[in-house]
C-alpha cells in the first residue's frame, strides 16, 4: 500500500469513500493490519487495558507509548500511524509540544489527544510546527473519573451542543482528524456532515467518515465487549481475513448496524 497521509484521508472524505482504523501495539499485528489495507493504525492508550490489564487507561506512560509506537512502526507497511498522548502528557502547551515530538520521533505520523476547546492553542502550535493532530471527543476515556464511568456522551441538548462546538473549534485550530466515541448516531452524523476533516467513529453510528475498533474487540478476544463492537474473526480462517472483513463491512455500510449504535 502506498503510504497513507492526512491529505489522502481528506481526499477520501471528498470522494465520500469510507476508511478504517484498527488499534495495534506491536510489529506483528501492525504488519498484518497494514497488509490487509487498513488505512490507519492507532497506537492507542487502550493498551493500558487490553495489553497491560488495567481497569482504565490512566496508568499508561510516555515510555510505554514510545515503546509500542516503535514496535508498530517497524511492522507497518503504509498505514498512517496515530500515536496517543497518554493521560497528563498534554496538560500544558509546552509539555504537549515536547511529548508529541517524542511520539513523532518514535515513528508516529500524527498524535491524538482527548478534549475540545481547551486544547486549541496546543493543536494550533503542533500543526504550525509540523505535527498533525487527531482530536478525540465524546467519551474520552482519560476523563473516566470526571465522566463517572464509560458512558454514552452528548445525550442532552446542552451536552450535544458542547461536543458540536468543540468539534468545530478543534477543526478551526488545525486538527486533521477527529475521533468521536460513544455519542448518539444523529449527533455524529451532523458533525461529520458539517466538518471538512474526516471523522472517525467508535460507538457513534454508521454516518461518520471512518470507523475504528480496538484490536482485541475486533478479534473477539475481549470478554463481554461493549455494544458497539462486532467480532470480525467469526467466520474467518485468518486474522488478516478479519481485518479485511471489517474494512469491507465499513465500506459497504453494513457495519455499524443499528444494534451497534446509540440514539438520543
Ligand atoms: O486508545 C484507543 O484505543 C482509542 C480508541 C478507542 C479510539 O482511543
Which amino acid residue places its CA nearest to atom 4 of ligand 1? 44
| Nearest alpha carbon to residue 212 among 3, 18, 12 | 18
Q: Which of 49, 86, 214 to mutate to test the pocket of ligand 1 (most atoms within 8 A of CB)?
A: 214
Q: Vertex 74, ends 77 and 125: CA angle to 5°? A: 85
Contacts 24+ apart (CB under 8 A), 29-32: 29/72, 29/75, 29/215, 29/239, 30/71, 30/72, 30/73, 30/74, 30/75, 30/76, 30/79, 31/75, 31/76, 31/77, 32/239, 32/240, 32/243
Distance from Cα 231 to the centre of ligand 1, integer Å: 17
Distance CA 58, CA 79 (A): 27
Distance CA 69, CA 42 (A): 9
Whole-number pLDDT of residue 1: 85
168 Cβ contact partners less than 8 Å away, ≥ 6 residues apart: 194, 195
Name the DSSP letter for residue 86: P
| Nearest alpha carbon to residue 93 among 131, 58, 115, 119 | 119
Reported in sequence order, the residue ranges of 28-69 that DSSP labels E, i.e. its strands, are: 40-43
Quick one: which atom of ligand 1 is closest to the CA of 21?
7
Distance from Cα 46 to the centre of ligand 1, integer Å: 5
Q: Which of 84, 110, 219 to mutate to test the pocket of ligand 1 (most atoms within 8 A of CB)?
A: 84
Whole-number pLDDT of residue 256: 98
Residue 31 in contact with residue 76, Cβ under 8 Å? yes
Which amino acid residue places its CA nearest to atom 5 of ligand 1? 44
How many CB atoms are closer than 10 A to CB 23?
27
Which amino acid residue places its CA nearest to atom 6 of ligand 1? 214
* pLDDT tens for the 264 residues of the chain, in order: 899 999 999 999 999 999 999 999 999 999 999 999 999 999 999 999 999 999 999 999 999 999 999 999 999 999 999 999 999 999 999 999 999 999 999 999 999 999 999 999 999 999 999 999 999 999 999 999 999 999 999 999 999 999 999 999 999 999 999 999 999 999 999 999 999 999 999 999 999 999 999 999 999 999 999 999 999 999 999 999 999 999 999 999 999 999 999 998
Quick one: which atom of ligand 1 is closest to the CA of 23?
3
Nine-digit cell at 237?
Answer: 480462517
Distance CA 103, CA 155 (A): 34
Amino acid at each position: 500500500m502506498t503510504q497513507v497521509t492526512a491529505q489522502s484521508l481528506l481526499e477520501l472524505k471528498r470522494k465520500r469513500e469510507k476508511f478504517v482504523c484498527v488499534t495495534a501495539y506491536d510489529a506483528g499485528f501492525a504488519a498484518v493490519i497494514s497488509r490487509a489495507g487498513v488505512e490507519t493504525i492507532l497506537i492507542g492508550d487502550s493498551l493500558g487495558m487490553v495489553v497491560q490489564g488495567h481497569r482504565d487507561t490512566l496508568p499508561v506512560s510516555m515510555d510505554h507509548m514510545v515503546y509500542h509506537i516503535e514496535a508498530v512502526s517497524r511492522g507497518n507497511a503504509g498505514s498512517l500511524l496515530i500515536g496517543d498522548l497518554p493521560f497528563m502528557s498534554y496538560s500544558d502547551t509546552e509539555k504537549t509540544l515536547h511529548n508529541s515530538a517524542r511520539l513523532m520521533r518514535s515513528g508516529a505520523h500524527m498524535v491524538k489527544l482527548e478534549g475540545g476547546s481547551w486544547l486549541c492553542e496546543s493543536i494550533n502550535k503542533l500543526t504550525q510546527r509540523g505535527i498533525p493532530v487527531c482530536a478525540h471527543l465524546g467519551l474520552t476515556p482519560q476523563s473516566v473519573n470526571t465522566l463517572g464511568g464509560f458512558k454514552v456522551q452528548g445525550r442532552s441538548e446542552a451536552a450535544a451542543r458542547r461536543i458540536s462546538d468543540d468539534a468545530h473549534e478543534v477543526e478551526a485550530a488545525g486538527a486533521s482528524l477527529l475521533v468521536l466515541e460513544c455519542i448518539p448516531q444523529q449527533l455524529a452524523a451532523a458533525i461529520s456532515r458539517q466538518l471538512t476533516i474526516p471523522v472517525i467513529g467508535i460507538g457513534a453510528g454508521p454516518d461518520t467518515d471512518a470507523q475504528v475498533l480496538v484490536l482485541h474487540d475486533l478479534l473477539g478476544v475481549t470478554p463481554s465487549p461493549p455494544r458497539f463492537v462486532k467480532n470480525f474473526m467469526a467466520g474467518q480462517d485468518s486474522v488478516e481475513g478479519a481485518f479485511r472483513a471489517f474494512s469491507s463491512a465499513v465500506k459497504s455500510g453494513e457495519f455499524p448496524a443499528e444494534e451497534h449504535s446509540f440514539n438520543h
